[in-house]
Amino acid sequence: MSQQSQLDEEKPTEAVLVEEASGISTPDTGERSQAEKKLVRKLDLLIPLMLGISYFFAYLDRGSIGNARIMGLQKDLDLTNDQYFNCLLIFFIGYAAWEGPAFYLIRRFHAPTVYAGSTIVFGLGALLTAYAKTYAHLLVARLFIGLGEATIQTGFVYMSLWYRREEMSVRTSYIFAFTPVAGAVSGLISYGIQRGLENAGGRRSWEWLFIIEGAATLVWAVVLWFIFPDMPDKELAKKRYVDLDAWYFSNKQTADVSYHLAHQVMGSKVEFWQMRVALKDPKVWALAIIAATHAASLTGFSVFLPTFINEFGFSRLVTQLYTIIPYAVAFVSLLVVSRLADHFVVRSVPLLAVTGLAIAGFVVLIAQTNPAVGIFASSLVTAGVYPGVVIVSGWIPSSNAGYTKRATAMWITQIFCQAFSVMTSKIYDKPPRFFKGHGVLLGLMVLTFVDIILLTYLMRRHNRKKDAVAAEWESRGETNPDESRSLEEMCDDHPTYRYMY
């Protein structure tokens, strides 16, 4: 018997796949086969790792402008504060404008090519920044970075096609763990460049910063194109898993791919009617606000953190090192909190906890007068907003059934995130204490705290209504005929679909 015939016999039938697809309403708490567990472990070594490294370079290239400002970029290009803030703003405009089409591109075309091409775009944007001589040059470079990085953000929807809902939070944390690392590495690189490459080859230290980071990003784009997997249901990806089973999966594990992924992949395609469903769903908007407030706080801190610490009274060189502390705290926090969220299969409680932590951090930042306390408060904020972004980033795709509804929800979320981030690029303009900026973000965190409570109530009410309907069918000894339909046909209205909160 041929290898392919063996695989075909081992794969679940279409009926089994339908049953699996319609039964994802509750987390899979049953025992899984050793083959499936190995499959998930091997997926973890491939997908979150590669997306995480992509996020590392994305956040490195976008956030280094804050370090470059300390290194003299604003002075060398003769930028006013408003012009500098506009360079931050245009990044978010490009980001928000392109992410919607990006969701279509990754589903319609070869995903490795789309992701690698986008990485090339923002890598070139970083290189262009190094050669910027005017305000206009810097604007164009930042626009390139925003356009390129927009596609990388679709990685959460892409990953939701590979993993079960209850697996998403930890895997999202694996990706986001690279973002505080990027902030810390940027500080280390900036410190080393300032000490060793200032005026080397006739170039300023901030120019070397973007040359090194941009070149490294372009190298990573090539690696991404060769190794990154396509969508799980596409023939190219399946062929790679069969042909390269020694590196990817064994034959039995390859056969299990369909079973493991059926609940998200089966029949998933671009369905424009699902866009209307997403637009009418209040839970989509509630999640978008939660994500946007955390993203705005994260963005404000990643860009302005070097400025905050510099204003605490430290030298420019020491400032680059002290930026590492809040990022290190964020790294530990997001891994621990997301692990707990997946272990207990809960989202709202850990999200409320980290939002409260961020609120406390902003209160201390406003009240503090001691530099050490300021760094401590900054660490509280990063310990809150980084895991907050992780949890909500996994919560959104796992709370929207149907590929297009899920993608639309993420696009709406990113429009909110970029709009709020545009605002944060303008609020930190009153040194040295930055009362206005901290106060605005404090208010947003309080808003999202209330939003989480309301959203939890809506999801709980939805689940109870579904349970009541299911109990009624069961009491009559009948089966709801809609249970045989797929999530792509019914989205969240599928009778077995339940929200995780």
Across the range 280-288, mean pLDDT stands at 95
The band of 282, judged by pLDDT with boundaries at 50, 70 and 90, is very high
**pLDDT above 60 for 25:** no
- The closest alpha carbon to 400, from 176, 168, 191, 203, belongs to 168
- CB atoms < 10 A from the CB of 150, how many? 28
Q: Greater confidence, 304 or 439?
A: 439
Quick one: pLDDT band at residue 79, thresholds 50, 70, 90?
Answer: very high
- What element of type H or E holds 90? helix 81-108
What does the block give as tokens for 132?
A: 């910027």
Determine the pLDDT at residue 248. 43
CA 80/CA 382 separation, integer angstroms: 28
Q: Are 47 and 159 in contact (CB under 8 A)?
A: yes
User: Of 329, 336, 431, whose CA–CA distance to 390 is shortest?
Assistant: 336
SS3 (DSSP) at 26: coil
Per-residue pLDDT, averaged over 236-264, amounts to: 45
Q: What's the mean pLDDT in 126-148?
A: 95
Model confidence at 368: pLDDT above 60: yes
Confidence check: pLDDT of 9 > 50: no
The residue assigned the tokens 């299911």 is: 470
Specify the 3-state DSSP secondary structure of 324.
helix
d(CA 422, CA 309): 22
Band of residue 267 on the pLDDT scale cut at 50, 70, 90 = low
| Stretch among 84-88, 125-129, 317-321 having the lowest mean pLDDT | 317-321
Over 50: is that where the pLDDT of 377 sits?
Answer: yes
Distances (CA, A) of 296 to 59, 95, 251: 14, 14, 45
Q: pLDDT digits over 215-245, tens only?
A: 999 999 999 999 888 877 653 345 444 443 4
Do the beta carbons of residue 177 and residue 335 sit within 8 Å? yes
How far apart CA 379 and CA 420 sit, in angstroms, is 21
Q: How confident is the model at residue 144 (pLDDT cuts 50, 70, 90)?
A: very high
Rounded distance between C-alpha atoms, residue 173 and residue 417, angstroms: 19
The answer to whether 159 and 40 are in contact (CB under 8 A) is no
Most confident of 195-199, 301-305, 448-452: 448-452
pLDDT digits (tens, 9 = 90+) for 182-227: 888 888 899 899 888 888 888 999 999 999 999 999 999 999 999 8
**Mean pLDDT computed over every residue of the chain:** 83
Lowest mean per-residue pLDDT among 266-270, 465-469, 474-478 = 266-270
**pLDDT interval class at 388 (50, 70, 90):** very high
- Range with top average pLDDT, 55-64, 76-85, 184-193, 351-360: 351-360
- At residue 460 the predicted structure's pLDDT band, cuts being 50, 70 and 90, is very high
Closest by Cα among 183, 172, 177 to 327: 183
User: Could you give the domains of the chain?
Assistant: 25-493 (1.20.1250.20)
The residue among 419 and 347 whose pLDDT is bigger is 347
What is the pLDDT at residue 269? 64
Task: Give the model's pLDDT for residue 37.
Answer: 72
Task: Report the distance separating Cα 487 and Cα 24, nearest Å.
Answer: 9
Counting residues of the chain whose pLDDT is more than 90, the rounded percentage is 42
Picking from 112-116, 194-198, 421-425, 481-485, which range would have the lowest pLDDT averaged per residue? 421-425
Start-to-end CA distance of the chain, whole Å, equals: 47
Looking up tokens 């931050």 gives 88
